[in-house]
Chain A
Amino acid sequence: MHHGTRSAARLVAGTGLLGALALVLSLLESALPPVTALPPGAKLGLSNIAVLYAVQCLGGFPAVCVALVKGVFAGLTRGGAAFIMSTSGGLLSTAVMTLFSRSKRPSFGLLGLGVAGGVAHNLGQLLAACLITTQAAVWYAPLLIGFGVLFGAVTGTILRVTMPAIKRLLPPSAGATAGGPHMPPRPGKGRGEVK
């Protein structure tokens, strides 16, 4: 409690950092060579990594902000339809991941959260597509669920692997992680656990 101001600043700074990370990841993803075998709408969704980390370490509201930053950026660079699609997917995905990450029993792993987020993201987009274009888009649903599972699993796994690196960028507040390492691991010092 005595860290109120400090943690508010940490929240804002962390949200900004993760928002920036999400934008960089979307840029990186658009720079990847397109895979023609994929159906339209199937995207890797790398920026979901930033959103999932925000859900995980900052909470629901900052994660919603990151998703909104992502949507506005998509709107500015690719037009209004992209804003609607990105935001609808992002918000539903964030809501679902926040809900699932709070569940203690059963408790889900990063793989499960990534999968839930990926599927929710695609279904949110499908919903928006149905509303703004044609209801025939519903026929895409099984495909989008399938790719949501696949790419959600990929993003969840990438987050697990890169967690130490992101932690260095954004150290968890000391109070929030009882039992966790109080100092972020420094590069070059090895990964040995200090007892």
Chain B
Amino acid sequence: MERKWFRPADLILLAAAAAVCLALLFWQHSTGDADCTAVIEQDGQELRRISLSALTQEERIELGGEYHVVLLAEPGAISFLSSDCPDQICVHTGKLTKPGQAAVCLPARISVRLEGKSESGADATTG
């Protein structure tokens, strides 16, 4: 009655877990590029939230404060286009395209991060 270490049925479990895992990864990969929202914050306060997947054309966002910062939002990506700040790290960070990525301009205390669009009510939008 002692349970063995391995039974053939274990393979079903392993295969099922691997399949779910791969399917999720694939789903994230295919939607991750487009389906995300950029959150722009200054001094820790949210200024704007832009759905990058819903954008159809480029948009420049100018932010004031201590330094003059210009963000460039385009379909599926957002980046710091220019900034007056001394170190230019934010500009060099380049384009953000995937949820979880972030760019920060520390001198201007402006941050941009991308969130996965899991909180929106709609699963999909059809034209």
Contact = CB atoms under 8 A, between A and B. Distances in A.
Identify which of A101, A146, A148 gathers the most chain B CB atoms within 10 Å of its CB. Answer: A146
Contact of B100 (A100, A139, A157): A139
B8 A106 contact: yes
Nearest to B8: A106
Contacts of B99: 136, 139
Interface stretch (B17-25, B43-51, B52-60, B85-93): B17-25
A145 interface: yes
Given A115-B17, A116-B13, A142-B24, A135 B5 contact: no
Contacts, number: 83
A145 B17 contact: yes
Given A116-B13, A148-B17, A156 B5 contact: yes
Interface residues on B, range: 20 to 34
Contacts of A112: 6-7, 9-10, 12-14
Interface of A: 56, 100-101, 106-113, 115-116, 119, 134-136, 138-139, 141-142, 145-146, 148-149, 156-157, 160, 163, 177-180
